[in-house]
Chain A
């Protein structure tokens, strides 16, 4: 179904991937950070490994399995949060390890050696297919459009859901839609840095941005730009010193964060 996609030259593909990934991670990551959903997002990420394992076992595309697992666990968390009135971090931790355990069992049960397993765990920006890029582009378009049209209500609801409810605003609808966006963003960015590291793309750029601004709009924009710079530089550095790209991106982002803290201290920005 995706044969119509143009072939992208291998030299520029990682950079296009970095840009498309940074748009989604910058936007959704900022939402995750300001709503304090980081731990929940970590849970969804690791639960998706269960889907990857089942995907291998059933002969699906592993990301299709990841997508189902991520969306189901995201909706499940939102549902139980609503029922229980409180977020239960133990329940999230259980889901987190359950997903990993299911993944490990099904990978083991899959005959032969599952191709590209390492690329899901640790990321491999070089094996991202044109089809994956196409879906990432679609996700970016949907996210940018949604955030442009509904930016203020989304922020206001994120800030104070009780108040929004008292105004009869459809808070539940927004929460569920955002949870699905979070799940999609996680799954489509797994291959960039891997399941183990993907949460850092949602948090480090945002925390760097937050050092320089206390406003929400600049935080979204800076996060996207910082993420682009971090992933781009990570790819370049990994190529030069010949080490894994995903881990290099994270190390570079952490270095950026520490440097920003230092600058922030010294110049009191």
Chain B
């Protein structure tokens, strides 16, 4: 049975006078695995920050299921990598929440250890984050987002610094996680997205939720998403032209 986790109705978002998104109608249910695509600056991150409650829309309604907990993986660029904090501390921060100081320590430690080894981060657990590679940092942040088993996982371009091998591993991992939580994934890698997600949402001034994972040129044109697509390889799948 599908429960609505989040619903946006006629939402509009602006920074000062500059309207970024308008007429957003978007429903997220508990089984969803939605790939969010759209050109740079189209408002994908702004949409996510609205869902998180960081940006207050200038118009429209937003529904949040009560008790919904959200795991969030931000776009990396604005992170202070000089900050004196280790990999395991960053992941532990994922337990932050109302009962942080009272929740069971042992249980948390087990989950943390399990996740660190699953993400192959155990050798780096005591490392300061500034000494990690981009991919290792990204994995650390992903681990932080999922360690508390949230009801909704939001990932803003998690594949930016990740090598090809871990990229597939990451997406397979997400497919597994999707059995327990809804996932919203922002990415520019259309090829990867369309072979793993269930549905696609295209963002550009407004949002179109396409209830299928196939991406084709007509669709994108109709939605005014100016992204070039070619088919390549023996397995028919689509990637960005400059892939």
Chain A interface residues toward B at CB < 8 A = 34, 36, 149-150, 152-153, 155-160, 162-169, 210, 213-216, 219
Contacts and interface: CB of A to CB of B under 8 A. Distances in A.
Nearest to B92: A152
Contacts of A150: 101
A165 B53 contact: yes
Interface in B69-122: 69-72, 74, 79-80, 83-86, 89-90, 92-94, 96-98, 100-101
B97 A155 contact: no
A166 B89 contact: no
B144 interface: yes
B84 A34 contact: yes
Contact of A168 (B86, B90, B98): B98
Contacts of B97: 167-169
B52 A214 contact: no
B136 to A, nearest CB: 15
B46 interface: no
A143 B198 CA distance: 50
B52 A166 contact: yes
A168 B64 CA distance: 13
A226 to B, nearest CB: 15
B84 A216 contact: yes
B84 A219 contact: yes
Interface string B118-140: 00000000001011000000000
B218 interface: no
Given A160-B79, A213-B84, A215-B86, A153 B72 contact: no
B80 A162 contact: no
B54 interface: yes
Contacts of A166: 52-54, 70-72, 154
Contacts of A162: 49, 52, 54, 72, 74
Contacts of B128: 214-215
10 contacts: A34-B84, A156-B96, A159-B80, A160-B74, A163-B93, A167-B70, A168-B98, A215-B84, A216-B84, A216-B85
